[in-house]
Amino acid sequence: MRIGFIGLGVMGAPMALNLVRAGHELTVHRVKERSRHLLDEGATAAASPREVAEKAEIVVLMLPDTPDVETVLRGDDGVLAGLRPGTLVVDMSSISPVVTVDLAAAVREAGGEYVDAPVSGGDVGARDGTLTVFVGGDDGPVARATPLLEVLGSTITHIGPVGAGQAAKVANQVIVAGTIQAVAEGLALAEAAGIDAGTVRTALSGGFASSRILDLHGRRMIERAFDPGFRLRLHRKDLGLALEAAEHHGAAVPGTRVVAAQMDDALARGWQELDHSALFRLVGETDA
């Protein structure tokens, strides 16, 4: 397929690479040094989102936040300006479920189709093509998007109509944030008690506390290895979306408010670019 890809960050660049290596014709925008290898692999650079849309039958977005997606779609030289009839927009960013419905309507009004398909799995999942994908949209557009999504992810679930994918991703980020904080406090307590946190982590992995977060992020915490897979500032952004959605729907999320406040503390300490597992530093390091 002729695919346009916009958003070549920590996760977007390896996702785009997987699409090129799967044999798709790829047009990309805003190529920087860390993503220049995509051109060596056969991708073509475009000068604007509009040019990406003009060359693609499917446009994939993998951008940091809601305003970024709005700008790329609706800007003067944006995707909507170059959208051809029948073009499918697949937004894999994590953005507001409410705004997603409005963006989908704008794409349909311009003659295109829209699917929201945010992902979970971090940079490792992006590189390995094993992302979990939460899909929202009508059956027809989702069927068109599925072969592309199968290159990028190993667990792909059609949740419901447009916006449902983003709502599911928000729920995912709430659960991940709470679990990271629980693992951080548990391992910090183990260290404070004078026992080896690595041994505790191994023991817990055989019981009810076992989780992927205990496995991967527990190791990061013990090793104090906080180079980003998923940046803390982006997870805090996602919790902002969760709090907005909770207010919109009248849902109570007291634990999420606590973790969001802890993330604010971490960001105030300048940890924006650290992995979200760096929350451990708030409870596990006396000099934090």
Q: Where are the alpha helices (DSSP H) in 121-270?
A: 122-128, 139-152, 164-192, 197-204, 212-223, 232-249, 254-268
How many angstroms separate the CA atoms of 3 and 208, rounded?
43
How many angstroms separate the CA atoms of 6 and 24, rounded?
15
Closest CA to 226 of 279, 173, 286, 283: 279
Catalytic residues: 169
How many angstroms separate the CA atoms of 233 and 116, rounded?
22
SS3 string, 108-140, reads HHCCCEEEECCEECHHHHHHHCCEEEEEECCHH
Q: Which residues contact 62 (CB under 8 A, 6 or more apart)?
A: 5, 6, 7, 8, 9, 11, 12, 15, 92, 93
